[in-house]
């Protein structure tokens, strides 16, 4: 093969898909549901997802579930729906960077998106004149318009032929040379010709006029494009000048429902415009309050329409940039006879509630408001009140009466009083990680696997998050059962036909006792129970119709329904393991013999006379559950201390005949045969779960006819030998593996793959299902306490715990000795705490209500003001912010580092880099400071030692050999701590523009430039000089860098690329040569840069902007990977390939996948991953993982091409992920 | 001669189809304005990039998008007077 990598190759995988919504829309795509049961179709990064809101019968519990999520390998820019008349479900329309319009339907049976049409209209990529930026679809489903930011618009007409097939027309262009499109929407015209409205600015004159007068006179036009369905063309039918600040359009219902026309949202005003009706205008109310600027004008950033078709009523919910939502209604004129005409008379704007700023608001017909939040969790609010009462809050209600409709005319601004939520309440908080500012993987709690610490969010809704791989557990009861440590637990019914569990048995081999409890409304110990209590139980179960069986070391006690007890004594030795199903019971004795029992209909156990001896001591065994509709299970699995397991037949006609043997790497300690659903074939298969002494967990499928074991998957769970317990979660058979932490093995509801995920809980000994009339969940034994818990959801795979921060986090640093994090936070255009207190005339820290209101409403805004602070966060013990230091004088903290200064005996100080008076305009010259804080009380208290002024804001700090390295603009400095200020030790120009990141190993410092990739600098301590010796040929707008090894740096850039560059051998050696006579000091600069150039080793387009990168292991015992996190909430990794074979295999698979499963939105996969720079050295794991979802035929085809079996490919693909991560 | 004509026609069709296709008399101002417009269009078109800027500027994405759109009208100021 020609394209085999000569150097290290990586496997790019997404651990957590981005959560930032780009666009979303309500739709009805699942056939057979009511029209009110709408779904939400959403684009998040390069993925599209279909969500559903489900409620229980009495509407008390709600769930937001993702029905389907798919990676489309393209930048999704807009989504829309269209219901073509006469069809039963909506068409989903995606505009992406593929230069094609994609029409999808949802195939409910197969749970996948099906592409109905893919029409090319332009070049691929996000370009100025290629339509796709705007997408509007006619409300009657007749046509769709796509627009670009400049010039081009294209209309597709949709209809249906007699067979019910959707037909898409050829594109109709409506191009306008040198005109910019600011917004686009579809008008509701009823069944008249469809019209699209656009906000356009023509720049021909402005550009041609050197005086600049034409630019001053420029106008924004509202343009109507009418689609003539009969003549098959698009014409510009009307245009009129609108307020120049207009930024958004909303179509007003037309036809029978309303007056038609558009809402033009401009700065501080909302206009109603239509060619047939007079204009109306209402100012956007401004917030009242001491901290609010009375002159600040708001604009509308999101909105949605509610239309009750049966009553012909409608209203809009419009959100301002502060998050305040207003309800806009249009009242129509009534004529002399009291009939409503179509002439709008008045617009009324009423303050509704304040929500997080939305990318998209959707009003769900079941009475929910979905906020696809721009920053932070998306939220679903339940609507309690539609604010129909005109008497309510008259001071927050405003009308268009007497407001001049000309943009130039003066008007009185309106003011309203914002408040807490009143009309709605939060129903569901949908977890999301965007915007993810920084992450760091550390193990601060000495758990098996490291945790991911992240700073996330914006403004006062920012959070410090601890992210763990695992499922959250909701503990309902945790009850101590005395001081004896128990080691096993069983729950079972009284009769086979019962619905609920009746008995709970706890056994302790340490105390050699058993405790029997009865389950009902409460858990109570049974006095004089029929169970044997002065001995440890090996196994207990309900068998037959109503016989209770307790196996202990010396024998079996079976309790018949009549109360009669049968005892069976062990002939010699003791019972070491036992397992049973409804009819069959298998025991292993210490003499390595097996004893088999079969229960007849009378409830009495009959022993098989033969007691075969095993090859070694039996350590574990398991009998499969009785399959439905049969009397007996076919196989039992027996594990021995010679590291083997044997599959044995336990059918009565061939009892205890060995069928197959499997050798293992260690002694099996726990075995469970479980009938589980195979999601691929939708049939139940017998799966044997194996726990080994080494902490490994294996899973193999038993062949029904031959009893052979196949399809073995392995995972390392922890340092303790896992004990396996079959349980039921979400009405599905699952397995809990209790190792050094508990794990749950289940079929994931979305990916349909068998997944093993840890439970976020302390280690447990054993767990069982727990079903009582009040509660169905799980119970477990944890040391000497009984735990009853539930697993609320098995959908996500990450568990978050969060701590609230004050402002947008910009950086974080860990204390080198204590589990503490220092975060620096700053918010642009926000009032600092000192200013707020001054305006209010006092602090509100003591006033809980006011603090909560400020948190709800967001920080007060102020142009060119900065609010900033430094906070100490303890995520481990106190789980809160321990102390914080507010910055004043318009300073903004930008970065921080913990620096042990050699001159102070390596005492650790916190260094914080700031910028002062930073602004967007270039009028002011910002300054920078480095604050040095002394750490008191184990790092929890900060005391300012001094601050040192610099000419530019400081974006990067780095502890460097007992000193502090920092970047000021394009220069690199090394400072030492002094009494009153930092003392400069060394200085050197390092990069062309602005240092934004610093990394070091030894005397080598890697400086990341804001727009010019990385430069390697060597520090020569003897001569106190810093010499840049190697830089890059490509301009990369660095966001983050990390040194993978001494020569190699991995980084990310603002355009969404991941790259790995490496210093060639020669300069690397030269740079480290001893002394000044070294060649490198006298080396001449090459082409205005450093003397040498870096080699590119890997390059990969991820779409999301990488904000942090780190070389780390993610699971216990896993290999190190390059972990990265992106702004939109992506967690991903690059896994280095270990063998050449793997590279060859995955290269082949990726190629086949590109051909067999091309991306849904029509983007070419290779082109997409090579968006800016050709992809190099990285194989797209996300694409390879789509192999699992292919149809049987496609899988076979690829497997034939690759010359491997389907199972083998699946295993390889899955192991690539599970070996190193989750 | 025919060849030259065809080249000319092809160039014109390109210039019609794709804004910013240069010609022999492209001025520095035209060129820079074109590049700037392309950049502003790209900032809006890539949602993560717009998000990144919005966070840095402390504004909602819609406002940053409007800034970008507005900048596209005359990104490099009015054209310099043509020298006669």
- Residue A12, classed as helix, strand or coil, is strand
| Gap between the Cα atoms of A946 and A887, Å rounded | 13
* Residue A49 is assigned to a structural domain of this protein: no
| Gap between the Cα atoms of A642 and A667, Å rounded | 7
For residue A1065, the enclosing domain spans 990-1109
- Same-domain status, A1072 and A1007: yes
What residues of chain B lie within 8 A of the CB of A321, using their CB? Answer: 59-60, 62-63
From the CA of B68, how many Å to the nearest CA of chain A?
Answer: 10
What residues of chain B lie within 8 A of the CB of A1132, using their CB? Answer: none
What residues of chain A lie within 8 A of the CB of B77, using their CB? Answer: 212
Does the beta-carbon distance from A458 to B55 stay under 8 Å?
yes
pLDDT at position B83: 66
* Residue B69 is assigned to a structural domain of this protein: yes
CATH of the domain at A1202: 1.10.150.910
Query: Of A765, A796, A827, which marks where a domain is finished?
Result: A796
- Same-domain status, A731 and A709: no
- Same-domain status, A1103 and A1154: no
* Residue A60 is assigned to a structural domain of this protein: no
What residues of chain B lie within 8 A of the CB of A129, using their CB? Answer: 18-19
What residues of chain A lie within 8 A of the CB of B19, using their CB? Answer: 128-129, 150-151, 178
What is the Cα Rg of chain A in Å? 34
B18, B52, B82: residue with CB nearest A1054: B52
- Residue A793, classed as helix, strand or coil, is coil
Considering its fold, how many domains does chain B have in total? 1
Phi (first) and psi of residue A1066, to 5 degrees: -60, -55
- Same-domain status, A623 and A705: yes
**Residues A918, A908 contacting (CB under 8 angstroms):** no
From the CA of A658, how many Å to the nearest CA of chain B?
Answer: 60
- Same-domain status, A1167 and A1191: yes
Does the beta-carbon distance from B73 to A180 stay under 8 Å?
yes
DSSP string spanning A758-769? EBSSS--SEEEE
What is the ipTM score, two decimals? 0.94
Locate the chain A residue with the closest alpha carbon to B79: A210
CATH of the domain at A625: 2.130.10.10
B19, B58, B59: residue with CB nearest A151: B19
Mutate to test the interface with B, among A96, A126, A250, A1130 (most CBs of B within 10 A): A126
Considering its fold, how many domains does chain A have in total? 4
| Gap between the Cα atoms of A881 and A1096, Å rounded | 42
B37, B47, B79: residue with CB nearest A128: B37
* Residue A562 is assigned to a structural domain of this protein: no
* Residue A184 is assigned to a structural domain of this protein: no
* Residue A1064 is assigned to a structural domain of this protein: yes
Does the beta-carbon distance from A150 to B41 stay under 8 Å?
yes
What residues of chain A lie within 8 A of the CB of B60, using their CB? Answer: 301, 321, 357, 374
What residues of chain B lie within 8 A of the CB of A830, using their CB? Answer: 58
For residue B46, the enclosing domain spans 30-73
- Same-domain status, A574 and A712: yes
Listed in order, strand segments (DSSP E) in A994-1137 are 995-1001, 1004-1009, 1014-1020, 1025-1031, 1038-1043, 1048-1053, 1057-1062, 1092-1093, 1095-1101, 1106-1113, 1120-1126, 1131-1136
pLDDT at position A2: 46
Does the beta-carbon distance from B58 to A827 stay under 8 Å?
yes
B41, B52, B74: residue with CB nearest A203: B74
* Residue A1029 is assigned to a structural domain of this protein: yes
Phi (first) and psi of residue A839, to 5 degrees: -65, -40
- Same-domain status, A640 and A759: no
pLDDT at position A609: 84
Does the beta-carbon distance from B41 to A149 stay under 8 Å?
yes
B38, B58, B77: residue with CB nearest A128: B38
* Residue B51 is assigned to a structural domain of this protein: yes
pLDDT at position A6: 66
- Same-domain status, A650 and A786: no
What residues of chain B lie within 8 A of the CB of A1055, using their CB? Answer: 46, 49
A-proximal residues of B, 16-75, CB under 8 Å: 18-20, 33, 37-38, 41-42, 44-49, 51-52, 54-63, 66, 69, 72-74
* Residue B79 is assigned to a structural domain of this protein: no
- Same-domain status, A1063 and A1153: no
* Residue B24 is assigned to a structural domain of this protein: no
- Residue A264, classed as helix, strand or coil, is strand
* Residue B84 is assigned to a structural domain of this protein: no
* Residue A1008 is assigned to a structural domain of this protein: yes
* Residue B63 is assigned to a structural domain of this protein: yes
Query: Of A1109, A1143, A1163, which marks where a domain is finished?
Result: A1109
* Residue B14 is assigned to a structural domain of this protein: no
- Same-domain status, A575 and A475: no
Query: Of A742, A772, A796, which marks where a domain is finished?
Result: A796
Mutate to test the interface with A, among B28, B48, B65, B76 (most CBs of A within 10 A): B48
The token duo for B43 is: 């900032």
Does the beta-carbon distance from B44 to A808 stay under 8 Å?
no
Biggest alpha carbon–alpha carbon distance for chain A: 110
**Residues A221, A241 contacting (CB under 8 angstroms):** yes
Q: Does B78 touch chain A (CB under 8 A)?
A: yes
Mutate to test the interface with B, among A175, A207, A1126 (most CBs of B within 10 A): A207
What residues of chain A lie within 8 A of the CB of B46, using their CB? Answer: 75, 126, 1055-1056
Q: Cα A607 vs. chain centroid, distance in angstroms? A: 55
Across chain A, which has 1222 residues, the per-10-residue mean pLDDT values are: 66 93 93 87 93 86 89 93 88 92 90 91 90 92 92 91 88 90 92 93 88 89 92 91 94 89 93 92 92 91 91 92 93 84 89 94 92 93 89 88 87 91 92 92 89 93 93 89 88 88 89 87 85 90 89 90 87 89 89 88 85 88 84 88 90 84 92 83 86 92 88 87 90 89 88 87 90 87 89 86 94 94 94 91 86 91 91 93 92 95 94 91 85 93 94 94 93 94 92 93 94 92 89 93 95 94 91 72 80 93 94 89 95 93 94 92 92 93 92 93 92 90 84
What residues of chain A lie within 8 A of the CB of B74, using their CB? Answer: 203, 206-207, 215
Q: What is the number of CB-based contacts under 8 A between chain A and chain B? A: 136
- Same-domain status, A1105 and A1169: no
- Same-domain status, A592 and A677: yes
Confidence at B84, pLDDT banded by 50, 70, 90: low
| Gap between the Cα atoms of A1160 and A19, Å rounded | 20
Listed in order, strand segments (DSSP E) in A581-731 are 584-589, 594-599, 605-607, 618-623, 635-640, 644-649, 657-663, 668-678, 683-692, 696-702, 709-716, 723-729
Indicate the burial class of A1022 (C-beta count within 10 angstroms; 0-12, 13-18, 19 or more). Answer: exposed
Closest to A143 in 3D by CA, of A164, A113, A166: A166
């Amino acid at each position: 093969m020609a394209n085999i990598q000569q150097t290290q190759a990586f496997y790019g995988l997404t651990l957590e898909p981005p959560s930032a919504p780009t666009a979303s829309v309500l739709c009805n795509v699942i056939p057979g549901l009511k029209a009110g049961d709408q779904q939400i179709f959403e684009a998040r990064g390069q993925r599209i997802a279909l969500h559903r809101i489900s409620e229980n019968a009495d509407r008390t519990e709600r769930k937001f579930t993702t029905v389907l999520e798919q990676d489309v390998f393209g930048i999704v820019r807009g989504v829309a729906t269209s219901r073509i008349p006469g069809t039963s479900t909506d068409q989903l329309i995606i505009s992406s960077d593929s230069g094609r319009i994609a029409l999808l339907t949802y195939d409910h049976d197969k749970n996948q998106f099906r592409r109905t049409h893919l029409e090319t209209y332009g070049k691929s990529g996000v370009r100025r004149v290629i339509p796709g930026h705007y997408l509007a679809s006619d409300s009657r489903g007749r046509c769709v318009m796509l627009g670009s930011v400049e010039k081009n618009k294209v209309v597709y007409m949709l209809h249906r032929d007699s067979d019910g097939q959707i037909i898409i027309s050829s594109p109709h262009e409506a191009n306008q040379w040198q005109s910019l499109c600011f917004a686009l929407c579809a008008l509701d015209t009823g069944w008249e010709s469809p019209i699209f409205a656009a906000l356009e600015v023509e720049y021909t004159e402005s550009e041609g006029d050197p005086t600049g007068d034409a630019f001053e006179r420029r106008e924004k036009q509202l343009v109507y494009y009418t689609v003539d369905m009969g003549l098959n063309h698009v014409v510009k039918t009307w245009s009129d000048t609108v307020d120049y600040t207009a930024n958004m359009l909303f179509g007003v219902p037309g036809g029978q429902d309303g007056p038609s026309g558009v809402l033009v949202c401009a700065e501080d005003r909302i206009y109603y415009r239509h060619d047939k009706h007079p204009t109306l205008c209402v100012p956007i109310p401004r917030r009242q309050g001491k901290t609010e600027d009375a002159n600040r004008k708001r604009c509308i950033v999101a909105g949605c329409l509610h239309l009750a078709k049966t009553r012909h009523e409608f209203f809009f919910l419009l959100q301002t940039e502060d998050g305040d939502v207003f309800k806009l209604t249009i009242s129509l004129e009534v004529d002399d006879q009291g009939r409503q005409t179509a002439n709008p008379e008045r617009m009324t704007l009423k303050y509704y509630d304040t929500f997080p700023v939305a990318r998209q608001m959707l009003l769900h017909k079941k009475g929910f408001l979905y906020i696809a939040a721009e920053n932070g969790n998306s939220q679903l609010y339940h609507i309690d009140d539609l604010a129909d009462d005109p008497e309510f809050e008259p001071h927050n209600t405003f009308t268009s009466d007497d407001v001049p409709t000309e943009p130039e005319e003066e008007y009185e601004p309106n003011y309203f009083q914002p408040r807490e939520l009143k009309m709605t309440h939060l129903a569901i908080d949908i977890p999301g990680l965007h915007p993810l500012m920084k992450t760091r993987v550390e193990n601060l709690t000495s758990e098996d696997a490291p945790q991911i610490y992240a700073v996330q969010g914006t403004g006062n809704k920012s959070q410090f998050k601890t992210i763990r791989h695992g499922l959250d557990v909701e503990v309902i009861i945790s009850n101590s059962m005395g001081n004896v440590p128990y080691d096993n637990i069983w729950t079972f019914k009284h009769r086979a036909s019962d619905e609920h569990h009746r008995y709970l048995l706890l056994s302790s081999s340490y105390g050699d006792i058993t405790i029997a409890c009865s389950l009902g409304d409460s858990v109570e110990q049974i006095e004089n129970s029929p169970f044997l209590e002065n001995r440890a139980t090996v196994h207990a179960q309900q068998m037959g119709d109503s016989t209770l069986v307790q196996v202990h070391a010396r024998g079996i006690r079976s309790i018949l329904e009549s109360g009669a007890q049968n005892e069976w004594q062990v002939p010699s030795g003791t019972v070491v393991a036992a397992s049973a199903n409804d009819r069959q019971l298998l025991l292993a004795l210490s003499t390595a013999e097996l004893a088999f029992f079969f229960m007849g209909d009378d409830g009495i156990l009959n022993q098989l006379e033969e007691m075969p001896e095993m090859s070694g001591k039996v350590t574990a065994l398991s009998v499969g559950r009785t399959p439905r509709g049969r009397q007996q299970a076919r196989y039992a699995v027996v594990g021995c201390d010679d590291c083997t397991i044997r599959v044995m037949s336990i059918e009565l006609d061939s009892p205890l005949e060995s069928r197959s043997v499997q050798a293992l790497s260690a002694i099996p300690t726990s075995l469970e045969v479980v009938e589980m659903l195979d999601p691929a074939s939708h049939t139940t298969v017998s799966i044997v779960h194996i726990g080994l002494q080494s902490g490994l967990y294996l899973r193999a499928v038993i062949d029904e006819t031959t009893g052979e074991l196949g399809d073995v998957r392995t995972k390392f769970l922890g340092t303790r030998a896992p004990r396996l317990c079959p349980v039921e979660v979400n009405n599905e058979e699952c397995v809990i593996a209790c190792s050094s932490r508990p794990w749950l093995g289940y079929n994931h509801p979305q990916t349909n793959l068998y997944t093993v995920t840890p439970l976020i809980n302390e280690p447990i000994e054993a767990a069982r299902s727990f079903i009582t009339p009040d509660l169905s969940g799980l119970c477990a034994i944890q040391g000497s306490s009984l735990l009853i818990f539930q697993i609320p959801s098995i959908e996500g795979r990450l568990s978050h715990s969060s701590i609230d921060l004050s402002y947008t986090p910009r950086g974080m640093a860990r204390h080198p000795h204590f589990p503490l994090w220092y975060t620096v936070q700053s918010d642009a255009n926000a009032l600092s705490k000192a200013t707020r207190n001054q305006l209010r005339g006092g602090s509100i820290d003591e006033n809980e209500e006011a603090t909560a209101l400020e948190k709800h409403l967001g920080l007060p805004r102020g142009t060119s003001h900065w609010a900033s602070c430094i906070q100490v966060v303890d995520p481990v013990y106190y789980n809160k912010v321990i102390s914080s230091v507010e910055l004043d004088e318009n300073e903004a903290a930008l970065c921080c580092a913990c620096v042990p200064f050699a001159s102070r005996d390596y005492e650790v100080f916190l260094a914080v880099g700031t910028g002062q008076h930073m602004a967007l305009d270039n009028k002011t010259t910002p300054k920078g400071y480095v604050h040095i804080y002394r750490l008191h009380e184990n790092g929890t208290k900060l005391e300012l030692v001094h601050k040192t002024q610099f000419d530019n804001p400081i974006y990067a700090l780095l502890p460097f050999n007992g000193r502090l390295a920092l970047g000021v603009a394009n220069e690199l400095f090394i400072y030492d701590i002094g009494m009153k200020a930092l003392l400069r030790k060394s200085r050197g120009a390092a990069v062309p523009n602005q240092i934004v990141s610093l990394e070091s190993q030894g005397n080598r410092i890697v400086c990341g430039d804001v727009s010019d990739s990385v430069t390697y600098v060597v520090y020569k301590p003897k001569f106190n000089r810093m010499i840049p010796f190697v830089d890059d040929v490509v301009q990369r707008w660095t966001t983050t860098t990390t040194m993978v090894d001494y020569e190699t740096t991995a980084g990310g850039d603002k355009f969404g690329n991941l790259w790995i560059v490496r210093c060639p051998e020669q300069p690397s050696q030269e740079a480290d040569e001893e002394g000044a006579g070294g060649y490198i000091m006298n080396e001449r600069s090459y082409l205005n840069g450093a003397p040498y150039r870096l080699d590119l080793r890997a390059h990969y387009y991820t779409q999301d902007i990488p904000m942090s990168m780190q070389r780390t292991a993610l699971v216990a015992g896993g290999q190190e990977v390059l972990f990265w996190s992106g702004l939109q909430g992506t967690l991903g990794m690059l896994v280095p390939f270990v063998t050449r074979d793997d590279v060859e295999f995955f290269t082949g698979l990726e190629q086949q996948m590109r051909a067999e499963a091309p991306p849904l939105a029509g983007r070419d996969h290779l082109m997409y991953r090579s968006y800016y720079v050709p992809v190099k050295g990285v194989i797209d794991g996300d694409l390879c993982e789509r192999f699992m979802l292919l149809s049987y035929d496609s899988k076979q085809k690829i497997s034939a091409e690759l010359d491997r079996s389907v199972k083998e490919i699946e295993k390889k693909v899955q192991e690539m992920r599970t070996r190193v991560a989750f | 001669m025919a060849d030259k004509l065809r080249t000319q026609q092809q160039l014109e069709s390109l210039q019609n189809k794709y804004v910013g296709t240069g010609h022999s008399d492209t001025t520095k101002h035209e060129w820079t304005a074109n590049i700037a417009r392309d950049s502003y269009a790209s900032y809006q078109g890539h949602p993560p990039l717009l998000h990144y800027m919005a966070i840095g500027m402390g504004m909602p994405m819609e406002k940053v998008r409007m800034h970008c759109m507005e900048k596209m009208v005359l990104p490099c100021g009015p054209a310099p007077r043509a020298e006669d």
